Structure 1
Amino acid sequence: MIGSPPALQLYSVREQLATGRMPVLRRIAAFGYGAVEPYDVRTDPERLRADLDEAGLAVCAVHAKALGEDADVLLRGTQAVGGGTVIVSSMPRERFADAEGIAALAHELNDAAAKAADYGLRLGYHNHEFELASLVGGRTGLEVLEDALDPAVILEVDTYWAAVGGQDVPELLGRLGDRVRYLHVKDGPVTRQDPQTAVGSGRMPVAEILAACPSAEWHVVELDSCATDMLTAVGDSLAWLAGHDLAKPVRAGAGT
């Protein structure tokens, strides 16, 4: 189950990054994370890449809505930070209201994947709860979308939001199959509004979820919000994963 180094979605530490990037990146690396998933490659991606290099952090993917007129600048930014995959982080929930809307979205994502391929990049889609909270023709919106996607488009399943959407996450991952190449690993009370917690201290069956998705290339820790100190929770998350043989910290002695 342990392949790629543990990764962190940088959105988790957005507030800390705003006060000074290098100290935060160094602390992420000191915890034992080996990679990050940036969410802003529009603002000076070359400088971000240099800072990541200095901290010893790779890029597992980038979150960016590389669609329409924004596509080229975001795809170039993804290249600049060294990401091989660009993941569409969200779309309006009304796009999943019916089968026609989902089909139109799939067409847009397929076109975006072809454009990303021109840059040597792979395109993915990341879910929230609404793609899974209501059924379209008896199936979840995410599964309907998957059926209409070009095989080149991969999925990053946010396991927490899938659970908030009412899904048994291991069963969902089994249905989605090999298209899932990234997992967002997070924990908490499994509610939409309450703060999340460090991985291992909430209600998510994390070990069962990770075991249910052997196709995942990366496990990416993320906390959208946290009632405690965010950086402490980020470190505690990796320590818990490492303590349960679900992650291998990059630095010796880290994550323990």
Structure 2
Amino acid sequence: MALPAASVQLYSLAKEFSADMPGSLDKLAAIGLRNVEAFNFVGRPVEIRAALDASGLASPTGHAPLLSDELWTPDGAIPTPAPEVVFEAAATVGMTTVIDPFVAPERWLTADGVADIAERLNRAADTAATFGLTVGYHNHAQEFVADFDGQSAYERFVALTDERVALELDLFWAMTGGQDVPALVRALGDRLVAVHVKDGIVPAANPWAPGAESFGSDTLDQRHPGTGEVPLAEALRAGSGIRHAVLEYDNAPGDVFADIAAGYAFLRDGGFVA
């Protein structure tokens, strides 16, 4: 199996990217990265593509809402454009896969809700194909709350989605959802094309379980990859078709560029990326 390429989710440096897009991308390139995962790109695809080209970077994957009226983030909601608008912007940026990053917790609590999510993403895959793109889904921890006959909502979702639908597993959030992360990576097989490489102290309780206290990203105790509780090395070795190892900090512990550099060093020096 070919090693995945290193990348970084630009949500990690949302403030820095908004303040200085070219400078931020130049800093990522200087670290040694050649790929990023774009976020909130639909309103400015031409600008982002020009900045990527100038820095020698590419964004093969990107996050955009495909299944919700609004994209929730711990720091505010982003309105959802029509899928065709998303895919046209993604093609302009140069992506190959558009990944929905969040579906509200309550939609994962019933079998009908999970079936609806899967059906919508299957339809989105049809539309994306007309733009030469594929679609995917990125988990948090709400997908692991409900259980249907011994099958988690996430497992049910995977079973109901078309093989064309790619999976991006956030290793930190899967562990927060109580998963044996390396075992889940193995079980997903070649459907798993990307992982979010994220570490830290895993919350004691699933923050998206019914009745849980609300939280923001600033409450997370995140640390450099390889220094927290998530078995990142074992999980990365367990993959059979991972093409993108995407660094991400929801709450960077220090200077975000130094933190990204530490994450890239973990991937590079551990032999986890090409």
TM range (shorter): over 0.9
Aligned to 2:106, the other structure's residue is in SS state helix
Distance apart, 1:70 and its partner CA: 1.6
Distance in 1, matches of 2:39 and 2:58, equals: 14
- Residue 218 of structure 1 corresponds to 244
**What are the within-5 Å matches in structure 2 for residues 151-162 of structure 1?**
151-162=163-174
Segments of structure 2 that go 5 or more residues without pairing to the other structure are 70-80, 208-218
The structure 1 residue matched to 2:257, chosen from 205, 208, 231, is 231
| Aligned counterparts of 2:36 and 2:112: Cα–Cα separation in 1 | 35
Provide structure 1 residue ranges, at least 5 long, that are not aligned to the other structure: 249-256
Equivalent-residue separation in structure 1 for 2:142 and 2:131 (angstroms): 31
Cα distance change on mapping 1:179 and 1:39 into 2, 3 Å? same
Q: Which moved more, 1:192-201 or 1:95-104?
A: 192-201
Residue 8 of structure 2: SS of its match in structure 1? strand
Residue aligned with 2:201, SS = coil
Deviation digits for residues 11-41 of structure 1, max 9, x if unmatched? 1110111221111101101111110000122
Distance 1:5 1:60 in 2: 10
Q: Distance in 2 between matches of 1:168 and 1:160?
A: 11
1:132 equivalent among 128, 131, 144: 144
Deviation larger for 196-205 or 103-112: 196-205
CA distance in 2, matches of 1:13, 1:94: 29
Q: Equivalents in 2 of 1:215, 1:120: separation in Å?
A: 21
Q: 1:2 offset after TM fit, Å? A: 5.9
Q: Which residue of 1 aligns with 2:11?
A: 11
Q: Determine the C-alpha separation between the residues in 1 that align with 2:4 and 2:189.
A: 19
Residue identity in the other structure for 2:267 = L
Map 1:1-256 to 2 at 5 A.
3-67=3-67, 70-191=82-203, 193-248=219-274
Q: CA deviation at 1:189?
A: 0.6
Q: Deviations over 1:62-112 (max 9, x none)?
A: 111135862111111100000011111111111111111111111111111
- Count of residues paired in the alignment: 248
Aligned with 2:86: secondary structure? Answer: helix
- Equivalent AA in structure 1 for residue 196 of structure 2: H
Question: Secondary structure, in 3 states, of the residue corresponding to 1:196?
Answer: strand
User: Aligned to 1:147, what secondary structure does the other structure show?
Assistant: helix
| Inter-partner Cα distance in structure 2 for 1:177 and 1:246 | 17
Please report how far the alpha carbon of residue 194 of structure 1 lies from its aligned counterpart in structure 2 after TM superposition.
Answer: 2.1
- TM-score norm. by structure 2 comes to 0.86
Does the residue aligned with 1:199 lie in a helix, a strand or coil? Answer: coil
CA contact (8 A) 1:6 1:32 kept: no
Partner amino acid, structure 2, of 1:124: G
Equivalent pair of 2:6/2:267 in contact (CA under 8 Å): no
Q: Secondary structure at the match of 1:226?
A: coil
Cα RMSD for the two superposed structures? 1.5
Deviations 1:137-170 (A, max 9, x none): 2111111001111111111111110001111101
